[in-house]
């Protein structure tokens, strides 16, 4: 597939390299000339120096035959502009934008760019988990379905220890999976009781994530009688 990437920093160049290794035809568009030279050294002749939001540059890049378009610059307005042009002007079938400010996610969706990746948010999530700040790791976000797959590491200080999983705002308790030390992974029921050391993988409606976070920090989960 022919894939155009706008933005040639760490994310753009690594993505380009991997897609090339997977046999795709790739073009990385980068505005900064110095960065462009660097890309040419790193990836070979698959970079174009120019503004990936400019119609003329995109036309030169052959955007009309692109199967996928990915914008990963540091500026949300640039990523939005590039993706809107790719999708609405050139009908590229799959368009993905990196968002740098998480609050722009709903704006992108409203403006027709549904597939966004909050790269910084993902990094923070993993750092917090490694640092032991958050017991929750969001493994995958299925935006079209409005659900997320999340891993909870049950540590002894969590209020949910010794309680059944139905006390968490999950909605799909019966499709969750429990990894308990020295046991085979098991499918849960709403009455499965969590123990310290458990690793609990579950589906949750995206809108319930904050509620879940609150129920994990508060000594007494709010909202209940």
Partner 1 sequence: MNVIIMGCGRVGAELAHLLDAEGHKVTILDADTKNLERLPSDFGGIALAGDAADEDVLKKAGIAEADAFVAVTRDDDRNAMAAQIAKQIFDVPKVVCRIYDPLREEFYKSLGLEAISPTSLFARLIKEKLGD
Taking the complex as a whole, the smallest distance from the CB of residue 48 to partner 1 amounts, in Å, to 17
DSSP calls for 31-91 = S-HHHHHHHHHHH-S-EEES-TT-HHHHHHTTGGG-SEEEE--S-HHHHHHHHHIIIIIT-
Which range binds partner 1 by CB under 8 A, 32-40, 49-57, 121-129, 208-216?
A: 49-57
Among the listed residues 23, 41, 110, 184, the single contact to partner 1 using CB under 8 A: 110
**Residues 97/115, Cβ–Cβ less than 8 Å:** yes
State yes or no: residue 148 binds partner 1 (CB under 8 A): no
State yes or no: residue 111 binds partner 1 (CB under 8 A): yes
Among the listed residues 30, 76, 118, 198, the single contact to partner 1 using CB under 8 A: 76
Taking the complex as a whole, the smallest distance from the CB of residue 89 to partner 1 amounts, in Å, to 6
CA distance linking residue 225 with residue 221, whole number of Å: 10
Taking the complex as a whole, the smallest distance from the CB of residue 56 to partner 1 amounts, in Å, to 7
Q: In what order do the strands lie in the sheet with 94-99?
A: 47-49, 25-30, 2-6, 68-71, 94-99, 116-118
Q: Write out the residues near partner 1 by the rule CB under 8 A.
A: 53-56, 75-78, 80-81, 84-85, 88-89, 101, 103-104, 107, 110-111
């Amino acid at each position: 597939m022919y894939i155009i990437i706008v933005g040639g920093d760490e994310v753009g160049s690594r993505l380009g390299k991997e897609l090339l290794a997977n046999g795709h035809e790739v073009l990385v568009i980068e505005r900064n000339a110095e960065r462009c030279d660097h890309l040419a050294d790193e990836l070979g002749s698959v970079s174009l120096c120019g503004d990936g939001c400019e119609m003329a540059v995109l036309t030169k890049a052959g955007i009309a035959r692109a199967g996928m378009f990915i914008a990963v610059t540091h500026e949300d307005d640039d990523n939005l502009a590039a993706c809107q042009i790719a999708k609405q002007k050139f009908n590229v079938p799959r368009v993905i934008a990196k968002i740098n400010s998480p609050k722009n996610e709903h704006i992108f969706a409203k403006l027709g760019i549904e597939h966004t990746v909050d790269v910084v948010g993902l990094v923070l999530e993993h750092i917090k988990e490694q640092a032991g700040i958050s017991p929750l790791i969001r493994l995958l976000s299925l935006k079209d379905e409005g659900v997320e797959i999340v891993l909870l590491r049950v540590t002894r200080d969590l209020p949910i220890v010794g309680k059944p999983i139905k006390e968490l705002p999950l909605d799909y308790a019966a499709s969750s999976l429990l990894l308990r030390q020295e046991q085979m992974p098991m499918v849960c029921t709403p009455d499965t009781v969590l123990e310290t050391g458990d690793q609990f993988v579950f589906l949750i409606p995206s809108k319930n994530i904050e509620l879940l976070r609150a129920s994990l920090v508060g000594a007494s989960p709010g909202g209940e009688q």
